[in-house]
């Protein structure tokens, strides 16, 4: 789970959040209740948000959250699912937020005024495209999720994502398009870009192919807002706040929606191994912790095999790759 804006959460719990902030909290809950780490993350959330000084009551809230998380199947294997989630949003969010001492009548009124939202998710090795009401198209890479409305109302268009997406956004000068992932917003009016924000990664990454966007995010070190130009890749460490910028020729950029394309910009071997597991569906074990922390820059756009990618990453670093019982091991 990525960092949550606790200021917004506190305002929401106090009933002082704007409609936009309230809606963001609901979408954050929907995205993160399905995270494998939801149990621990919500426990940490209760500790950080000053809900109550009554420790006994806080423990009761924790117990209820445990049951909700268990009943919603967050520990089950991820699988592709498409469907209307308004009922799920009402059932889950009402339960969670009610236990956090919110006014239920206010929550019901808020949800009933919300348009119908649809959730689409992909499993390992799967890709899928979604055409939105305004004609924008969003492709989901493997192990990703998109929550979007049946229509866009008001002065902006907004969707919520987890994982990696490639977007072609229809131009509308009067209504900016916002792609949100926890405390990160990509704000556009019409453009093509790739955005990566997996729950188990510290970094978020944005590559702009054409157009112009602003990247707005809140890290543990504060808020960062930056303009991105075509051909630029921006990475933000959501813990340290460190920002990396890398340039590439847009004509040389190959999207994974067209064919297999993998870009690793200053990622640790551990992070790369997780991405390769998603892409190829094969378990990778790094035997030494110092090897897992090594950082790499690499791109693979010629449909390389998993073996070819790992050999290219590891050979020059003095590491060896071997496979046993369908598990790949990386060692000195």
Concatenate the DSSP letters of all residues of 280-302 into one string: H---EEES-HHHHT-EEEEEE-S
pLDDT tens digit string along 1-33?
A: 455 566 776 676 666 778 777 766 766 666 665
Dihedral sign computed on CA atoms, order 100, 103, 104, 106: negative
Q: Are 139 and 158 in contact (CB under 8 A)?
A: no
Asked if 279 contacts 260 with a C-beta cutoff of 8 angstroms, the reply is yes
* pLDDT (average), residues 59-70: 51
| Structural element, H or E, at residue 185 | strand 184-188
Cα separation, 101 vs 52, whole angstroms: 9
The answer on pLDDT for 82 being more than 60 is no
pLDDT tens digits along 235-260: 998 888 889 998 887 777 778 888 88
Cα 259 to Cα 23, 231, 303, 331, distances in angstroms: 35, 19, 7, 30
Tokens of residue 133, six digits: 């009401």
DSSP string, 73-118: TTTSPP--EEEE-HHHHHHHHHHHHHHTT--HHHHHHHHHTSPPEE
Q: CB–CB of 236/219 below 8 Å?
A: yes
* Token pair 């423990």: residue: 59
Task: Output the pLDDT for position 59.
Answer: 59
pLDDT above 90: residue 117:
no
Q: Are 264 and 298 in contact (CB under 8 A)?
A: yes
Q: Give residue-wise pLDDT tens across range 181-213.
A: 877 889 997 899 999 998 888 889 999 999 999
Mean pLDDT of 144-162: 89
Please choose, from the candidates 256, 217, 261, 263, the residue with its C-alpha nearest in 3D space to the C-alpha of residue 237.
217
pLDDT over 60 at 63, yes or no: no
pLDDT digits over 266-293, tens only? 888 999 999 999 888 899 999 988 899 8
> Is the distance from CB of 196 to CB of 240 less than 8 angstroms?
no
H-helix or E-strand spanning residue 275: helix 269-280
Backbone angles phi, psi at 289, to 5 degrees: -65, -35
Chain-centroid distance of CA 216 in Å reads 14
Mean per-residue pLDDT for 158-184? 90
Q: Which of 158-162, 203-207, 208-212, 316-320 has the lowest mean pLDDT?
A: 316-320
Taking the CA of residue 19 as centre, how many other CA atoms within 13 Å lie in the half-sphere pointing to its CB? 8
Rounded to whole angstroms, the Cα distance separating 70 from 38 reads 10
Coil/strand/helix, residue 10? helix
The whole-angstrom separation of Cα 258 and Cα 256 is: 5
Has residue 219 got a pLDDT over 90? Answer: no
pLDDT at 221: 75
Q: What's the rounded Cα separation, in Å, for the pair 82 and 169?
A: 21
Please give the angle made by the CA atoms of 110, 186 and 31, to the nearest 5 degrees: 50
**The two structure tokens encoding residue 90:** 């009402």
Tell how strand 284-286 and strand 327-331 pair up.
Answer: parallel
* C-alpha span between 286 and 331 (Å, rounded): 6
Beta-bridge partner residues of 185: 180, 216
Interstrand relation of 192-197 and 137-140 (parallel, antiparallel or unpaired): unpaired
How far is CA 98 from each of CA 65, 91, 92, 106, rounded to the nearest angstrom?
11, 11, 10, 10
């Amino acid at each position: 789970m990525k960092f949550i804006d606790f200021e917004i959460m506190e305002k929401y719990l106090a009933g002082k959040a704007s409609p936009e902030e309230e809606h963001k909290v609901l979408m954050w809950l929907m995205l993160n209740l399905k995270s494998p780490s939801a149990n621990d993350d919500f426990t940490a959330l209760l500790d950080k948000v000053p809900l109550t000084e009554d420790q006994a009551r806080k423990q009761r809230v924790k117990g209820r959250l445990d049951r909700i998380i268990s009943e919603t199947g967050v520990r089950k294997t991820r699988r592709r699912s498409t469907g209307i989630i308004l009922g799920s949003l009402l059932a889950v969010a009402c339960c969670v937020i009610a236990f956090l001492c919110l006014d239920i009548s206010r929550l019901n009124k808020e949800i009933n005024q919300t348009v119908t939202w649809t959730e689409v998710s992909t499993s390992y090795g799967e890709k899928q495209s979604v055409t939105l009401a305004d004609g924008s198209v969003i492709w989901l890479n493997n192990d990703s999720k998109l929550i979007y409305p049946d229509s866009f109302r008001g002065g902006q268009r907004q969707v919520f994502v987890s994982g990696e997406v490639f977007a072609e956004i229809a131009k509308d000068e009067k209504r900016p398009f916002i792609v949100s992932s926890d405390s990160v917003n990509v704000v556009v009016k019409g453009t093509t870009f790739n955005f990566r924000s997996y729950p188990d990664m510290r970094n978020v990454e944005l590559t702009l192919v054409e157009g112009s966007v602003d990247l707005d995010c809140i890290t543990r070190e504060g808020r960062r807002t930056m303009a991105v130009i075509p051909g630029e890749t921006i990475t933000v460490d959501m813990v340290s706040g460190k920002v990396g910028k890398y340039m590439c020729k847009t004509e040389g950029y190959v999207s994974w929606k067209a064919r297999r394309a993998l870009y690793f910009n200053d990622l640790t071997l551990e992070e790369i191994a997780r991405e390769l597991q998603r892409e190829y569906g094969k378990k990778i074990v790094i035997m030494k912790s110092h090897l897992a922390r090594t950082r790499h820059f690499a791109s693979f756009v010629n449909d390389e095999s998993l073996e070819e990618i790992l050999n290219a990453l590891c050979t020059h670093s003095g590491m060896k790759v071997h496979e046993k019982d369908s598990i790949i091991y990386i060692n000195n």
